[in-house]
Chains A and B, each alone.
Chain A
Amino acid sequence: MATGQQWVLVEMVQAFYEAPAYHLILEGILILWIIRLLFSKTYKLHETYKLTEKEKEDLIEEWQPEALVPPVSKDYPTLNYDVVTGPPSHKITINGKDCINFASFNFLGLLDNERVKQKALASLKKYGVGTCGPRGFYGTFDVHLELESRLSKFMKTEEAIIYSYGFATIASAIPAYSKRGDIIFVDEAACFAIQKGLQASRSLIKYFKHNDMEDLERLLKEQELEDLKNPRKARVTRKFIVVEGLYINTADICPLPELVKLKYKYKVRIFLEESMSFGVLGDHGRGVTEHFGVNIDDIDLISANMENALASIGGFCCGRSFVIDHQRLSGQGYCFSASLPPMLAAAAIEALNIMEEDPDVFRVLREKCKHVYNTLQGTPGLKLVGVPVAPALHLELERSSGSRESDMKQLRSIVDYCMERHVALTLARYLEKEERFLPPPSIRVVVTIEQTEEDIQKAVACIREAASALLIS
C-alpha cells in the first residue's frame, strides 16, 4: 500500500514536469476561477432592484392618495342636525316647533333648575368661564376640590376624581390601569366610550354575551386553566370585568351581585360605568350598587358622567384612594386636558345638594319610569326594550325589514310624526361601522321627573298613533 502510493505521487510529479505549459496555465486559471467562485459573495438581488432617483420620482408622481373624506350625498339623514332654539329643557323648541322633551337625558329636570343656575352664575361672576390650564398647572380650582369631596361623600367612597368631559372619563380610566398583556372581560352591549377605552388600553379583550353570567364564567374558567399552564405570566396579568350599571344601549341592569361573586371567585377587578344609573337607581340615587345593596367597596372603580342626572358637563370616577389616586398621574384625559370650567363644577355641586336634600325625586322618577314602561307596552309594531326602572328606553321595530336603512327611515317617520304633534323624540345614533356589536335601530324614549301625567299620555298616544298609521299598513 505504502509503496504503491509513493509510486503514484512520483508519477504525478513526473506528469507535472512533462505537461505542456499552456495546459498548466489553463488549469491554474481554472483553479483560481473556482476559488473566486467559492469566495465571491452571493448574487445581490436587492441591489439590482434598488430604485434610481428617476424611478422614485416617477413613483412619487404616480401616487394618488384617496380623498381625505369620501364624498357624501346631501340628503344623508344625519347630516342635517335638528336645531334646538333656546334651552333643551322640558319644553324644547326644535326646528322652530315647541315640543315636550322626551329625548334629553335630563332625568331629574335639573337643567333649568333655578338654584343650579344661580350657583353657576355666582361661580361665573367669581371665576369667569374657562380655566386656562390643566389640573396640574394652576387649573385646579377650589370648586373642583369641593366637587370631588362632595362626590366621594355622596357615593360613600374614599375618593373621587373629575374629568372635564363625560366621554373621556371611562375612556381614560380603563387604559390608566389595564395595559398591554392584561385581560378585560367586557359585556357585548358596552357603550362606545368603554369600547374606546378598551382600544386605548391595548389589552386582550374578551366579550361575553350581554348580561350572561354563565358565558362570563365560562370565559373566566378558560382563563383560569390558561393561568394554571403559565403561572408566571398569570402573576402579572391583571384581569378586569367592565360593565355598565344601566346599559345605555339596551336599557337593562347588570346583575351586580353575581358579578361581585365572580370577582372574588376568579380574582378579577370590576369597573362599573354608571352614566345612566347614577342619580337614577337606588333610594338615594347612588346607582346600581345601592339598587342591589352591594357594598360599594367591592367595586374597584365606578365611573359616571355628570351630564345626565346632574345636568352639568364632565364626568367622575370614584372608589378607594388606592385605585383612584393612580389616575391623577396616569389618566390621560385628566392630566393632559384643561380642567372643568368652575361654573359647571358649581352647577354639579348644587345639583348634588338638591339630590341629597330631597331623595324623594328618585322615587318619583322611578314611578314615572314604571308608568311610561307600562303604558308603552303593546305598542303595535314596536317592541319596548329595557327594564321598568330605566329612564331611557328603546323602541325597536317588531319586524325588521332586513335593511337597516329602511328600518331607520321607518323609525324616523315615527319621530317626525310625533314631532309634528309636539312630542320630541330622537333616534338612538350609532357609528354603524365602528360599533363592535351594533345595536338594532331604535327610538329613544327618555323619562324625566318634569313630565306630567298629561305629557306622558300625550306622548304615548302619539307614538301609538304613529306606529299604527305608519307601521301597520
Chain B
Amino acid sequence: MTESATSKLLNGDICHRTSNGKKASKNGFVKDHSLFEQPQKYRRPRDKNQNVPHNSSLYKKPFVESFEETPLWVAVLTYMGYGILTIFGYLRDFLRHWNIEKCHVARERDEQKDFVPLYQDFENFYTRNLYMRIRDNWNRPICSVPGAKVDLVERVTHDYNWTFEHTGKVVKDVINMGSYNYLGFAENTGACADAALEVTKMYGAGVGSTRCEMGNLDIHEEMEQLVARFLGVESAMAFGMGFATNSMNIPALMGKGCLILSDELNHTSLVLGARLSGSTIRVFKHNNMQSLEKLLRDAIVHGQPRTHRPWKKILIVVEGIYSMEGSIVRLPEVIALKKRYKAYLYLDEAHSIGALGPNGRGVVDYFGLDSKDVDIMMGTFTKSFGAAGGYIGGKKELIDYLRRHSHSAMYATSMSPPVAQQIITSMKIIMGEDGTTLGADRLRQLSQNTTYFRRRLHEMGFIIYGNDDSPVVPLMLYMPAKIGAFGREMLKRNIGTVVVGFPATPIIESRARFCVSAAHTREMLDTALEAISEVGDLLQLKYSRREQPLPSLGWMSEESLLQD
C-alpha cells in the first residue's frame, strides 16, 4: 500500500484526524523514561512509508490503520450544508410558530401546559429540522433473520417522515451490510437454532428471578464455563444485556478515589458505567499511546486533585474494535503501559470477539497475546454469536467478587435460556468442539471478505477509516445531505446500509458503515461494491486523493503539520 501526500497513517504518533478541530498531539512531551517516546520531530522520509508502528517490536504483523484527512473544500462545504439546514430550520420553526405550516410534533397535554417543558426546545431543533428529513434511513423494520440477506417491511410516508405507513409489502432479499452478524450466526436453521429450539421447549423463554435468588440455571453455569475456556481465562460471568454489562459492572469495580482512563471514542455504556462508579474520569485521544502514557504518568506523579493522595487504582478502559471508526486498539502497547504503570486494563470486545484473530478470540488472539495480561475481558454475545447479552472474564477472584457485587447479578433477571443455548452452540462451533471445521471456515471467510471488501473500496477511491483487518468499514460521506441520499440510493439498489451522522460522529464526519459478515458470499459483496461505486459516482463520494503519490510534497506537509 502506498501512501500519498495528504494521507497519514496512524503510526502511533500524529495521526488523529489532524485538521477539523482534532489536533494532533504536539505537546512537546519529551521524557527519557517514557515507554513510548514522542516521535522525533524530523523523521527520515523512509520511515514514513513503511506503515510500521514505532513500537514495532511489540507487533508480530503489520498494523495498518488509516484515517485519511478530510479535504478542505469538503469540510467547508459540509459546514455550509449544516448552515443552510439550520437557517431553513429556523425559517420552518418560524412558520410553525405562526401556524402557517402544520406542526406534526406531538404536543403536551392541555392540562399540563403550565408545567416546566419536559425537554428543551433546542434539543428538538436538531430532531425536527435535520433528523426528521432523513429519518427513513433508520429503524427500518425487518421481517426475517438478520442474515446476509434480509427482508424489509416496506413503509411509505405521506408527510415527510413524520409518520410512516406500512404498505403491507415486503422488500425481499436486501443484502444486509448493516447487522453485526460477523460470523453469520444469525440463522433460523442449523445447529444453533435446533439447540435453541430444544431449550425453549424445555425451559421456556423467561427466568423470573435474578442470579442471586432463584435464577441461576444449570445452563448459565455451563455457558460461563465454556466462555471462560474460550477466552482462556480462569472464570467468567454472563449478563443479560451487553450495555448493562458495562454500565453495571464498572461501578462494582471502581469507586471514589479511583481513576478511569477512557478512550475518547469509548461506547456510551462504558462512559455511563464510569460515570456511575463515582471515579474520576480522564479521557485520552483515540488510540493514542502518548496521550495515554502522559495521563498515566501525571496521574501517578500528582495523585488525586486537591487532596494529592495517591490514586487507589487506575483502570484503563479501551475497546477491541471501535464501532464507528473501524480501528483496532493498540493492545500490545496498552498492555506494556499497563504493566509499566501498574494500572488495570478493561477491554471491551463487543465488536472484536469472534470477529478478530485466527481462532476468533478477539484482539488478544489477533495480536497473539496472553489473555491473562488483560485484567477484565468484557464482550458481548449480540454480534458474532448471534445471541444477546454480555460477559466478563478474568481471574477467579474478580469473578467471585462480581458474583457478589455486580448490580446485574443482584437485581436483574438472568439471561433467557434459549439465548444462553445459542451462545453455547455457536461458541462450540467457533472452537471446533462440534467436530467440524465450520467455525474455522467462517473465521477464514470473514477475514477474506474483510480484506477483499476493504481493498476494493480503497481502489474505488473512497475514504475508508480504520484498520485493514477490521470487519467494521466506515465510508466517509461528510455532507449531511449525502447521509440521506446514500442510504436511500443504496436501498433502491436493494442493499441495506447503516448511515450515521452527528451526534454519533463528529459533526463533519458523517459516514456510512458496512459490517462485513462471513455469511456474505463473494457475489453478494460484488453486487454491493458495484452499487456502492455507482452511488459513489452519483453522489461524488470518491474523495480519496491517495492515487496521486507526491512523496516529496507529502514529506513536507507532514513536517509542517508537526510544527504548526
Chain B: minimal CB distance from A145 (Å)? 6
Beta-carbon contacts under 8 Å, B169-218 to A: 176, 178-181, 185-188, 192-193, 196-197, 200-218
Selected contact of B217 from candidates A88, A113, A167, A429, CB within 8 Å: A88
Residue ranges of B at the interface with A (Cβ–Cβ < 8 Å): 31-33, 106-109, 111-112, 114-119, 123, 127, 131, 138-147, 150, 153, 176, 178-181, 185-188, 192-193, 196-197, 200-218, 221, 240-244, 247-248, 251, 253, 267-269, 272, 275-276, 297, 300-301, 310-314, 341-344, 375-376, 380-383, 385-388, 397-398, 400-405, 407-408, 410-413, 415-419, 422, 496, 498
Q: Which of A88, A101, A138, A427 has the most CB of B within 10 A?
A: A138
Contact between A313 and B413, CB atoms less than 8 A apart: yes
Selected contact of B208 from candidates A88, A137, A328, CB within 8 Å: A88
Contact between B397 and A130, CB atoms less than 8 A apart: no
When C-beta atoms are compared, the residue in chain B nearest to A56 turns out to be: B301
Q: Which of A51, A132, A140, A347 has the most CB of B within 10 A?
A: A132
Report how far A241 CA is from B406 CA in the complex, Å.
27
Contact between A326 and B119, CB atoms less than 8 A apart: yes
**Could you say which of A13-21, A317-325, A362-370, A453-461 contacts chain B?**
A317-325
Q: Which of B205, B240, B397, B410 has the most CB of A within 10 A?
A: B205
Report how far A300 CA is from B112 CA in the complex, Å.
10
Residue ranges of A at the interface with B (Cβ–Cβ < 8 Å): 51, 53, 56-57, 59-60, 63-66, 68-72, 76, 78-79, 81-89, 92, 94, 101, 103-106, 110-113, 116-117, 120-121, 124-133, 135-142, 144-145, 164-168, 177, 191-193, 196, 199-200, 234-239, 264, 267, 269, 297, 300, 305, 307-308, 310-313, 320-323, 325-326, 328-330, 332-333, 335-338, 340-341, 343-344, 347, 424, 426-431, 434, 444
Contact between A116 and B241, CB atoms less than 8 A apart: no
Contact between B404 and A238, CB atoms less than 8 A apart: no
- Note all chain B residues with C-beta closer than 8 A to A125: 188, 193, 197
Report how far A328 CA is from B141 CA in the complex, Å.
15
Report how far A458 CA is from B562 CA in the complex, Å.
80
Contact between B388 and A131, CB atoms less than 8 A apart: yes
Contact between B188 and A336, CB atoms less than 8 A apart: no
- Note all chain A residues with C-beta closer than 8 A to B385: 130
- Note all chain A residues with C-beta closer than 8 A to B410: 192, 429-431
Report how far A264 CA is from B344 CA in the complex, Å.
51
Contact between B387 and A130, CB atoms less than 8 A apart: yes
Q: Known contacts A72-B400, A130-B381; decide if A196 and B212 are in contact (CB<8 Å).
A: no
Q: What are 5 A-B pairs at a CB distance below 8 A?
A: A63-B311, A69-B400, A78-B404, A200-B276, A320-B106
Selected contact of B413 from candidates A140, A307, A337, CB within 8 Å: A307
Report how far A428 CA is from B210 CA in the complex, Å.
10
When C-beta atoms are compared, the residue in chain A nearest to B343 turns out to be: A65
Selected contact of B398 from candidates A68, A267, A344, CB within 8 Å: A68
Report how far A83 CA is from B112 CA in the complex, Å.
50
- Note all chain A residues with C-beta closer than 8 A to B142: 138, 140-142
Selected contact of B214 from candidates A121, A135, A165, A424, CB within 8 Å: A424
Contact between A69 and B301, CB atoms less than 8 A apart: no
Selected contact of B221 from candidates A83, A133, A269, A337, CB within 8 Å: A83
Beyond A85-B217, A87-B204, 10 additional pairs, beta carbon < 8 A: A59-B301, A69-B397, A79-B404, A82-B214, A128-B188, A138-B496, A165-B240, A308-B208, A337-B242, A344-B205
